[in-house]
Every structure is written in structure tokens, then in C-alpha cells.
């Protein structure tokens, strides 16, 4: 820790704002009900305290929810004029905004992400997704999929724990806008904001069954995906599970979209504005504790500036404040679960074993909770596990290159293809590199930008289908 008279005093957000309840029920057919599964205990990863007990679904609950969604699809939602559907979505967007502070605190308690990120990124962007898609509901004939594109039916959606409410918005907003009804399974470790979202659906007067939320573990997701009453499956999560889902859905006629893992290359050329690049690198890998599928986890630096850049990078990373996620000054919060912390630790250890040089930020870590100090590996080779496997944590692997062509070859040397970054002042090189990179999202002189109007999604083993923008509607239309 840097001894400085200018240390920040703690600026904690009040946890009371979250309106945390001791127990949460699941949401089926417009009502909160108990589940048939063994209840989950949602844990605050920053303190390891149990936040609440959450109902969990069993197979019969999955069946009930799918039936409710089917009834709602047939009776109201698919037959309702688009203009009416739009108004429901606008209502939801507004309610998310109104309850934004509550949702942000709840999300931070449940997930461990810093309050400044849940407050300034997750929740506003979630609201923006509903607002954007609301406008599509009555304009689908103009989306370029024919004069009268039809919804698919009931969508089964499974989302991860890294952006619980935002991923929910990415899934539910386009599904509803296109006239589908949904059964959504939030992640086992972060179900709370989805259940508050269910309250918002009630407040918005959404017809029963249009949105159903079933907390549970992987078995609930598997049952949902395999349910014959589902017409569409949307999944965000690991590539491994994505492959299983693709196998399950094969031959069923269900439409499938997958947003899977990544191992993004963040490429810094020798003419890049270094201070800006350092900010982008930090944002790319330490945003959300690195729990981002499109995180810039492989830094590719041109050899001639590697030393200078690494020095600046370490100096900057040293200033990141790791700790209480509810503190408004915290930059890096808690790792979401003990299991994830173990995975990060194991992969980082493999970096040592394979001969990379580890540098760890000397920041103090809290005594309790799941934390991992920001870590930078240099001297990384392409064959090392830390250069090939998704770590999903605050661990950066640094590789070097000499020529632009080598940078592209190294960047594309992965089965993943979700995102990439380019840092250079040369416009023509940006456009060239963006063209050469096999990745669904390319950030040039910036990183980790998201917007409901901008399609997001991967190449190759990072999955297929897009979310956001006009392209994203295809996933929820029978076209």
C-alpha cells in the first residue's frame, strides 16, 4: 500500500437500500411461489455471509413455468398489438431506473462487484436495453426480416453470474419485444436481482406467465433447455456448457444462440498513446474483477515499447483499490464464489509452473471474503495455459510481437473469437486490424463498451448469434 496523506476515507453505500429479504421465492405465472428443489443460500462473496435463502426449482417447476409461458404466449403476448407490448417494456425500463439504486446495492451484495460499476454500468445499461427494445416491439416489420416476422414462442434462457441483471435484460428485452414469452434461470450464485425484477414485472402489470424466473443450479438449466415445450434456447456462459447445450438441442428444431467464453487479445502498437492504452488495458482486464467473457485477458504489446508500457501498467494497477464492494472508492471487488477463486488460483499457479513471470499488485486484501489481487504475467508464450484458457478473473497475460502481421496471427491463434482491442494512433491500421481480427467485437482505442444498439456476440467457440441492435432481433424471430 502506498503511504500517502491523500488516502481516501471509506465511502460505504448503505446496504439497507437493497431491501434485502431473508427469503425469496421463484416467480411463475405472475406469482411468487415456493420451489420443489432444495433452497439455495445466496452468499455475499465479500463477507461470506448468507444473504438470503432462495427457492430453487425442480423438474415439475420447470414444466409448470414452461406451460405458463406457453399459455401467456398463446392467449395474450403474441396476439397483442406491438404498440401495447412496447408500452409494457417502456414501463419496465422506467421501473428499473426508478429502483436503480436498490438494484445496484442488491447486485453488489449478491455478486461482489464494486458499487460504482453496478450503479454506473450494470443497472443503467439494463434499463437502456428495455428502453431500446421497447421501441422495436411495434416496428418489427421494418427490421429487415420480412413484412411480418413472427415470434418463436417460449424462450428458455440461462444466464451467468457476472452481470446478473444486465444479462437478464439482454435476454428478456429482445425476447419480449419480438413477442415471445420467457422462462429464465438466473445463475445459482446471483439470483436476487432477477427476483426483484420479477416484482418489477408485477408492478408493470405484465400479464402472468410472460416472464417466469426459476432460480436453481445447472440441473434446472439442463431441464429447461431440454424441455420439449421450449422453442428457443438462449445461453450465456462457459464454452463447455454451451457445447453441451448445442448437443442437447441438436435435431430438436429449437432455435439456439450462444454467448460463450473468450480470450481477447488487446493489441498495443508502438505508436499507441500509452497512458490511454494503460487505462484501456486496466479497464479491459480488471473491470468487474475480470469476470467478463470479453475481457482483454491477453495483452499483445509491440516489443519495442513492452518494457515502458509494462512499467506504466504496473504503476497504474498498484493504485487500484481492492476491497469492500459497497465502498464507492473500490475499483476491484470480490471474486464471485469460492469455486471461482479456486479456479483462478489454479490457473495462475499454472502460469508459474510453466515459466511465466508473475507480478501481483501489493494492495492489501480484506481478511474475509473471496479476493484475488490484480495480477500480471509477463514472458508468456502462446502455448501456456494462461494464454489459452479463459481465467475469468483479474489476471492478465502479456505477450509481445514485432510486426502487425504477427500481432494478428497471435491474436487469432485461439478457438475463441469474442472480442479484441487495438491501440494505435494510425487510423488506417485500426481499420486494417479490425478487419483482420476474427472477433465479434473490436474496440479500437477503447475497451469494454456496450450499448443496446450495438450488436454483441462471438465467432467460432465464443458462440453464435448476436445480442443488441437490429442483428439481435433475429435470435427471437422465426426467420
Partner 1 sequence: MSDTRTPERLAVAKTYKLYIGGKFPRSESGRVYPVHSAEGKFLANAAHASRKDVRDAVAAARKAFPGWAGATAYNRGQVLFRIAEVMEGRREQFATEVAAAEGLHRKQARAVVGAAIDRVVWYAGWTDKIATVLGAANPVAGPYFSFSVPEPTGVVAVLAPQQSSLLGLVSVVAPVLAAGNTCVVVSSAERPLPAVTLSEVLATSDVPGGVVNVLTGRAEELGPWLASHADVNALDPTGAPEDLRAELARAAADTVKRVLPVRGEREPDWTREPDIQRLRAFTEVKTVWHPIGT
Give the residue, chosen from 455, 473, 475, 476, that forms a contact with partner 1 under the rule CB under 8 A: 455
Give the residue, chosen from 2, 5, 22, 247, that forms a contact with partner 1 under the rule CB under 8 A: 247
For partner 1 (CB under 8 A), the number of binding residues is 47
Q: How far is the CB of 81 from partner 1 (least distance, A)?
A: 25
- Binding flag, residue 95, partner 1 (CB under 8 A): no
Q: Cβ–Cβ contacts within 10 Å for residue 145, how many?
A: 17
- CA 65 vs CA 42, 133, 362: distances in Å: 22, 24, 49
- Binding flag, residue 149, partner 1 (CB under 8 A): no
Q: Which of these ranges, 77-85, 343-351, 404-412, 434-442, lies near partner 1 under the rule CB under 8 A? A: 434-442
Question: 357-362, long-range: CB within 8 Å, 24+ apart, which pairs?
Answer: 359/314, 361/314, 361/317, 361/318, 361/320, 361/322, 362/1, 362/318
Give the residue, chosen from 215, 285, 440, 476, that forms a contact with partner 1 under the rule CB under 8 A: 440
- Binding flag, residue 250, partner 1 (CB under 8 A): yes
Quick one: 42 or 266, whose CB is closer to partner 1? 266
Strand partners, 281: none
Give the residue, chosen from 337, 457, 473, 477, that forms a contact with partner 1 under the rule CB under 8 A: 457
x-marked contacts with partner 1 along 394-423 as a string, rule CB under 8 A: ---------------------x--------
Q: Which of these ranges, 166-174, 179-187, 238-246, 361-369, lies near partner 1 under the rule CB under 8 A? A: 238-246
Q: Which of these ranges, 170-178, 192-200, 380-388, 436-444, lies near partner 1 under the rule CB under 8 A? A: 436-444
- Binding flag, residue 243, partner 1 (CB under 8 A): yes
Written in H, E and C, the secondary structure of the chain is: CCCCCCCCCCCECCHHHHCCCCEECEEECCEEECCCEEEEEEECCCCCCEEEEEEECCHHHHHHHHHHHHHHHHHHHCCCCHHHHHHHHHHHHHHHHHCHHHHHHHHHHHHCCCHHHHHHHHHHHHHHHHHHHHHHCCCHHHCCCCCCCCECCEEEEECCCCCHHHHHHHHHHHHHHCCCEEEEECCCCCCHHHHHHHHHHHHCCCCCCCEEECCCCHHHHHHHHHCCCCCEEEEECCHHHHHHHHHHHCCCCCEEEEECCCCCEEEECCCCCHHHHHHHHHHHHHHHHHCCCCCCCEEEEEHHHHHHHHHHHHHHHHCCCECCCCECCCCECCCCCHHHHHHHHHHHHHHHHCCCEEEECCCCCCCCCCCCCCEEEECCCCCCHHHHCCCCCCEEEEEEECCHHHHHHHHCCCCCCCEEEEECCCHHHHHHHHHHCCCCEEEECCCCCCCCCCCECCCHHHCCCCECHHHHHHHHECC
Cβ–Cβ < 8 Å for 119, 193: no
Give the residue, chosen from 69, 86, 260, 398, that forms a contact with partner 1 under the rule CB under 8 A: 260
- Binding flag, residue 143, partner 1 (CB under 8 A): no
Q: How far is the CB of 237 from partner 1 (least distance, A)?
A: 13
Give the residue, chosen from 26, 204, 444, 477, that forms a contact with partner 1 under the rule CB under 8 A: 444
Give the residue, chosen from 255, 263, 298, 410, that forms a contact with partner 1 under the rule CB under 8 A: 255
- Binding flag, residue 471, partner 1 (CB under 8 A): yes
Site for partner 1 in 111-140 (CB under 8 A): 128
259 catalytic per annotation:
yes
Q: How far is the CB of 198 from partner 1 (least distance, A)?
A: 27
Give the residue, chosen from 466, 473, 475, 477, that forms a contact with partner 1 under the rule CB under 8 A: 466
- Binding flag, residue 101, partner 1 (CB under 8 A): no
Contacts of 98 (CB under 8 A, 6+ apart): none
- Binding flag, residue 197, partner 1 (CB under 8 A): no
Give the residue, chosen from 464, 475, 476, 477, that forms a contact with partner 1 under the rule CB under 8 A: 464
Give the residue, chosen from 77, 163, 456, 476, that forms a contact with partner 1 under the rule CB under 8 A: 456
Give the residue, chosen from 463, 473, 476, 477, that forms a contact with partner 1 under the rule CB under 8 A: 463
Q: How far is the CB of 417 from partner 1 (least distance, A)?
A: 8
The Cα–Cα gap between 160 and 118 comes to 15
Q: How far is the CB of 440 from partner 1 (least distance, A)?
A: 6
Q: How far is the CB of 471 from partner 1 (least distance, A)?
A: 5
Q: Which of 107, 188, 259, 474 is catalytic?
A: 259
Quick one: 144 or 362, whose CB is closer to partner 1? 144
Instruction: Report the catalytic residues.
Output: 259
Binding site for partner 1 (CB under 8 A): 128, 144, 146, 239, 242-244, 246-247, 249-253, 255, 258, 260, 415, 430, 434, 439-446, 449, 451, 453-457, 459-464, 466, 469-471, 474, 479
Amino acid at each position: 500500500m502506498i503511504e500517502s496523506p491523500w488516502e481516501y476515507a471509506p465511502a460505504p453505500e448503505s446496504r439497507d437500500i437493497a431491501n434485502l429479504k431473508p427469503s425469496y421465492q421463484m416467480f411463475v405465472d405472475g406469482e411468487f411461489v415456493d420451489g420443489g428443489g432444495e433452497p439455495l443460500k445466496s452468499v455475499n462473496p465479500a463477507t461470506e455471509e448468507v444473504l438470503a435463502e432462495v427457492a430453487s426449482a425442480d423438474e415439475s417447476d420447470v414444466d409448470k413455468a414452461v406451460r405458463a409461458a406457453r399459455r401467456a404466449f398463446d392467449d395474450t403476448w403474441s396476439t397483442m398489438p406491438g404498440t401495447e407490448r412496447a408500452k409494457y417494456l417502456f414501463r419496465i425500463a422506467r421501473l428499473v431506473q426508478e429502483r436503480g439504486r436498490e438494484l445496484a446495492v442488491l447486485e453488489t451484495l449478491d455478486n461482489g462487484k464494486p458499487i460504482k460499476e453496478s450503479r454506473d454500468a450494470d443497472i443503467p445499461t439494463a434499463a437502456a436495453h428495455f428502453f431500446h427494445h421497447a421501441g422495436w416491439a411495434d416496428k418489427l416489420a421494418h427490421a429487415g426480416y420480412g413484412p411480418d416476422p413472427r415470434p418463436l414462442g417460449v424462450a428458455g434462457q440461462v444466464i451467468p453470474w457476472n452481470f446478473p441483471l444486465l444479462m437478464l435484460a439482454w435476454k428478456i428485452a429482445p425476447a419480449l419485444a419480438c413477442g415471445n414469452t420467457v422462462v429464465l434461470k438466473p445463475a445459482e450464485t446471483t439470483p436476487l436481482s432477477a427476483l426483484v425484477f420479477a416484482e418489477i414485472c408485477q408492478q408493470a402489470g405484465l400479464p402472468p406467465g410472460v416472464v417466469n424466473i426459476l432460480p436453481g443450479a445447472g440441473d434446472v438449466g439442463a431441464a429447461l433447455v431440454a424441455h420439449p415445450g421450449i422453442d428457443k434456447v438462449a445461453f450465456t456462459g462457459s464454452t463447455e456448457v454451451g457445447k453441451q447445450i448445442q448437443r442437447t438441442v441438436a435435431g430438436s428444431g429449437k432455435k439456439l444462440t450462444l454467448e460463450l467464453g473468450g480470450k481477447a487479445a488487446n493489441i498495443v502498437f508502438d505508436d499507441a498513446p500509452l497512458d490511454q492504452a494503460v487505462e484501456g488495458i486496466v479497464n479491459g482486464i480488471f473491470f468487474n474483477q475480470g469476470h467478463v467473457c470479453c475481457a482483454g485477458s491477453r495483452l499483445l504489446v509491440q516489443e519495442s515499447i513492452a518494457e515502458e508500457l509494462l512499467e506504466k501498467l504496473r504503476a497504474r494497477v498498484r493504485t487500484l483499490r481492492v476491497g469492500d464492494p459497497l465502498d464507492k472508492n473500490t475499483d476491484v471487488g470480490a471474486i464471485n464464489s469460492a469455486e471461482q477463486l479456486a479456479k483462478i488460483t489454479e490457473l495462475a499457479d499454472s502460469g508459474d509452473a510453466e515459466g511465466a513471470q508473475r507480478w501481483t499488485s501489493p494492495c492489501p486484501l480484506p481478511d474475509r471474503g473471496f479476493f484475488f489481487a490484480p495480477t500480471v504475467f509477463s514472458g508468456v508464450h502462446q502455448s501456456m495455459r494462461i494464454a489459452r484458457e479463459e481465467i475469468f478473473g483479474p489476471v492478465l497475460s502479456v505477450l509481445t510481437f514485432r510486426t502487425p502481421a504477427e500481432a494478428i496471427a497471435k491474436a487469432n491463434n485461439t478457438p475463441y473469437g469474442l472480442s479484441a482491442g487495438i491501440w494505435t494512433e494510425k487510423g488506417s491500421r485500426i481499420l486494417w486490424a479490425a478487419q483482420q481480427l476474427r472477433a465479434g467485437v473490436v474496440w479500437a482505442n477503447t475497451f469494454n463498451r456496450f450499448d443496446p444498439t450495438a450488436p454483441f456476440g462471438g465467432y467460432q467457440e465464443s458462440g453464435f448469434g448476436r445480442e443488441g441492435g437490429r442483428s439481435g432481433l433475429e435470435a427471437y424471430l422465426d426467420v
